[in-house]
Amino acid sequence: MSKDRLLVFSGNANKPLTNSICRELSGLTKKKVKLGRAEVGRFKDGELRMQYQDDLREADVFIVQPTNQPDRNLIELLAMIRAARSASARRVTAVIPYFGYARQDRKDRPRTLITARLVVDLLVEAGAHRVLTMDLHASQIQGFFPKEVVCDHIYARRELLKVLTGHFSGEADWQERLCLVATDAGAAKYVAKHAEILRVPMAIVIKDRPEPNVCRITGILGAENLAGRIACGVDDMVDTLSTADPVSQALKDPGSIGLEAEGAIEVWMAATHGLLSGQAVQRLQAAPISRMFLTDSVRIPRRKRIDELTMVPLGRLLAEAILCTHKGKSLSSTFEVSL
């Protein structure tokens, strides 16, 4: 049996994305890449029931599963990894478009759990040979993996910027109309790379969090760059909009936080992972945000895809990353941005 077989499987968290990846792989390889057959179901009490219907022996297996809530998504991924190893797969790569539990990456208070490390330990124990993930909330999580498990960290930047700049199609002066905004100081380096590629100015929001999911804006560095421009806040994720809502208010009206600066004429937001928890959609509709760009790393239900939301597909990018991994090639091509 050929050791060059590439098999792609999906848990239940985001099958539409996995189907998109398979379609893109078919185009890249010039041969049909079908979604692998796997039964990932439940017993009556909710307990996981998992079985592969395809022969995995000596195959290069890729399991696509974001680990957003509920916790069953993570359990499904762990079970699929272990079952693939038990079925004698040559190599098992966990493709995790959104790496859940990444927000607790350090012990910043007594008696807290570093959940990001716990998830890494679970992936290693389940038997993953490699992990392919995207836009980690804390990039140092890559260092939690032992040397025998490779973690490849790629970015959605290429696809996000392509769709973002597409909204200025035909406008020669669009760079004079746009300002990118880091929604906190921690994102400044990440957003600075976006701004460098687009050749546009940037600003940095200064904020603190008195408690989880509560955001207080205290200042804006580079507020002078907002005047007369569209301010596009850039972040790795949007959850409850507890950050995006007050940030957008401050960008539109810097005077509301005590700054003597002219605000942006319009506010956009762009993020890789759209969790949209709780009242996020209602907050988006009420906030002064005219456009929100989110990728399909996490499956967003139709009822939440309101007019203000523009979806950014990741199928092509992830398919390229999977094919590079399968062929033993560098992933550097996935970082190249051509606008």
Token pair for 299: 């499956």
Of 207, 252, 327, 329, the catalytic one is 207
Rounded to an integer, what is the distance from CA 55 to the centroid of its chain?
31
Phi, psi of 282 (to 5 degrees): -65, -40
Nearest to 231 by CA among 240, 244, 242: 244
- Helix (H) or strand (E) holding 61, with range, is strand 60-64
Catalytic site includes residue 207: yes
Cα gap 77→79, rounded to integer Å: 5
- Provide the 10 A C-beta neighbour count for residue 268: 24
Cα gap 272→107, rounded to integer Å: 25
Token pair for 46: 């909710």
Helix (H, G, I), strand (E, B) or coil at 10: strand
Is-contact 228 143, C-beta < 8 A? no
DSSP string, 174-215: GGGTEEEEESSGGGHHHHHHHHHHHT--EEEEEEEEEETTEE
**Eight-state DSSP code of residue 107:** -
Phi, psi of 244 (to 5 degrees): -60, -35
10 strand-pairing partners: 64
Is-contact 281 304, C-beta < 8 A? yes
Maximum distance among all Cα pairs of the chain, rounded to whole angstroms: 70
Is-contact 66 98, C-beta < 8 A? yes
Cα gap 226→259, rounded to integer Å: 12
Query: Cα separations (Å) of 88 from 58, 103, 128?
Result: 6, 34, 13
**Annotated active-site positions, please?**
207
